[in-house]
Structure 1
Amino acid sequence: MLKRGRRRQRRNRKRGTPFKDRLIVAGRKALGVLSPVVVLVLILGGVWTVYGELLRTPYLEIKKIKVDGLRLVSKEALVEKILAEGEKNILAFDVKKATLLVEEEPFVKSASIRRILPDTLEVVVEERVPVAIVRLDGLYLVDESGEPFKRYSVKDGISLPIITGLEELDESGLRDAISGVLGFLHMVALSGELTPDSLSEVHVDRVKGYTLVTRNEGVKILIGREDFEKKFVRLARFLEARGGDMTGIKYINLNDYRGVVVGLDTPEASKEGGMG
């Protein structure tokens, strides 16, 4: 009974309050709810206005592009790709889009770009390192992972051994085959007698194995498919006996168990030496 009486009293008080006063109270309550929203709208509007001004100010225009990590790619070509993004203001500049444009360059393995306010872009590039050329439907540069990544051009200014004999392989087996050749070239370099730079060709035959061709003399060195370390020792002894000179030699066959078989680039018969 007491509760009902109190509720009745409150209703009577409200009814007794003038409409104008009740309207003012209701308005204050509404403003109490809306005021944070209004403030937020005003703040966002102010921020947007300031941001628009920042996008138009010459102070934040890109004026410098620093590039690190270049050896094969020209800075001018890379900067041209970065500017192809099209935005001059550093705040509006699309870093992700520009990075993808830079990574379209075949010699670029990966790239990162960051803004340095007020007007500088810093670009760090990791290049692919070509270690050989492979002959497929054309000549292609090969990186350290065994991946052909760019069609070779004399404009590249790169002199590397050409891997031949893999033209018939499908894509699934090609990379493994190239990696095997690169491992073999590493062994050649470790032998100390030849370097990849001194070779013009590495031919791969499924049956006969590896054949090397020297760049300067054009001498074929038949290595085969196994016992590489022993054969490199034979080659070292043979070249030491000749003072490293391969002039007049057509081929050197290291596959004969008796020793090194040498074919001379003359009408004379092949010469066999017991250099085993």
Structure 2
Amino acid sequence: MSPRARVAQHGALRAPDESFSLESADYEDPGEEEKAPQGAGSGGPWRKLLAALRLGLGLALVVGTSVSVAYSVRHYALTSPRFSVREVHLIGGKRVAPQQAQDQAGVILGGNVFALDTAVAEKKLLENPWISEARVTRDLPRTLRIEIKEREPAALSVFNERLYLVTADGEPFKALSPGDPADFPLITGASVDGMSRDRARELDRVRVGLEVLEQYGRVPLSKTQPAQEVHLADSGDVTLTAGKEGITFELGKDGYRRKLLMGEQVVAEMRRKGRSPGIVFLDNQAHPERVVVRMR
């Protein structure tokens, strides 16, 4: 049989089997696309840097514009005649005149309302001993308001032979000067040396004198015999002198209200008898109900 006939009889001859050993390192999957290195396709850090630069430039532009606008506004506010001071209103001034307050605050009419440092102006006002509180505000566009609270004197006190105005709290705040009100009772016995040694104690003594004046002011006798002087002894005893005749009430250390009412009764009794008392002793601690009168 010829070879062709054998082929026809047995079908096509198969090629012999072949075996392959594929190393993983040499194998490439033709269906898988090659992966690009991370960040290479998106621009990586360069694109982020560019975005940051753009943001920074944008912020710089905004800040620069804001600063420029703020400078322009400030320049306009400080130079425009629209904000020149035309009026100064003083509120709360009794003894401090408007012009005096204006000068002490450093206010210049026609000056710029924003150029005035209000905090500095308030400090300058507080240098005036009459002024206890001060506030300076702007009422745009052309007005300044000065609000002050003044100290109110309640008595005069002597310190090293100088007269001082004293508040109701016992604080000596101003040496008496020409033009100052002087129609106040006098408190004596306190001293500058006492202030330097123990200021709180000395002020307490002055307050005792003020308390006596307050209590006496509630007694009807004070209307006809006004208080003239309260003396504070080192021992703590208090002496009140009242009226043009100078009636003296020795009050001791406490119970001033009760003693003053007793003194009023004694003076009234003496007057009914046509007599004029000189000194009324109300300081008997052993027998506080007893009153001794020394006639003139």
Tell me, yes or no, whether TM beats 0.5. yes
2:184 match? 160
TM-score, reference length from structure 2:
0.73
Pick the aligned partner of 1:77 from 73, 86, 100.
100
Q: Which of the numbers 44, 53, 76 marks the counterpart of 1:53? A: 76
Map 1:63-102; keep pairs closer than 5 Å: 63-83=86-106, 88-102=111-125
Indicate how the Cα distance of structure 1 residues 209 and 4 shifts in structure 2: closer, same or farther if over 3 A, else same.
Answer: farther
Cα-to-partner distance string for 1:89-111 (whole Å, 9 max, x where unaligned): 11222110001111111011111
1:39, distance to aligned residue in structure 2 (A): 2.8
Rounded Cα–Cα distance in structure 1 between residues aligned with 2:185 and 2:73 = 59
CA distance 1:164–1:244, shift in 2 (3 Å): farther
Residue type at the aligned position of 1:259:
V
Q: Which has the larger radius of gyration?
A: 2
Kindly state the Cα deviation for residue 128 of structure 1 after the two structures are TM-superposed. Answer: 1.0
| 1:263 match | 295
Alpha-carbon distance in structure 1 between the residues aligned to 2:117 and 2:33:
68
Query: Residues 109 and 128 of structure 1 are in contact (CA less than 8 Å); yes or no, is this contact kept in structure 2?
Result: yes
Range 29-38 or range 154-163, more displaced: 29-38
- Kept in 1, the 8 Å contact 2:156–2:187? The answer is yes
Deviations 1:197-249 (A, max 9, x none): 92221111134722222253333332222443342222222343466999965
Letter in structure 2 aligned against 1:184: V
Residue aligning to 2:8: none
TM-score by length of 1: 0.77
Deviates further, 28-37 or 216-225: 28-37
The 10-residue stretch of structure 1 (97-106 or 76-85) with the greater mean CA deviation from structure 2: 76-85
- Report the equivalent of 1:6: 35
**How far 1:37 sits from its partner (Å)?**
1.0
**Farther off after superposition, 115-124 or 43-52:** 43-52
Between 85-94 and 103-112, the greater mean CA deviation after superposition = 85-94
Quote the residue 1:124 is aligned against: 147
In the alignment, the residues of structure 2 paired with residue 105 and residue 50 of structure 1 have an alpha-carbon distance, to the nearest angstrom, of 36
Q: How does 1:195-206 map to 2 (within 5 A)?
A: 198-206=226-234
Name the aligned partner's letter for residue 198 of structure 1: P
Q: Which residue of structure 1 aligns with residue 244 of structure 2?
A: 216
Unaligned runs of 5+ in 2: 1-27
Q: Deviations over 1:121-146 (max 9, x none)?
A: 11221111111111112221111221
What amino acid is aligned across from residue 203 of structure 1 in structure 2? H
Change (3 A) 1:141 1:83: same
Inter-partner Cα distance in structure 1 for 2:254 and 2:39 = 105
Distance 1:219 1:243, change over 3 A: closer
- Which amino acid is the alignment partner of residue 118 of structure 2? V
C-alpha change, 1:226 and 1:245, in structure 2 (3 Å) is: farther
1:179 match: 207
- Percent of aligned positions that are identical: 22
Structure 2 CA distance for partners of 1:173 and 1:6, relative to 1, 3 Å: same
Q: Which amino acid aligns with 1:187?
A: Q
User: What amino acid is aligned across from residue 179 of structure 2 in structure 1?
Assistant: K
User: Aligned in 2, Cα 1:161/1:37: closer, same or farther, shift over 3 Å?
Assistant: same
Instruction: Give the distance between the partners of 2:274 and 2:122, measured in 1 at CA.
Output: 50
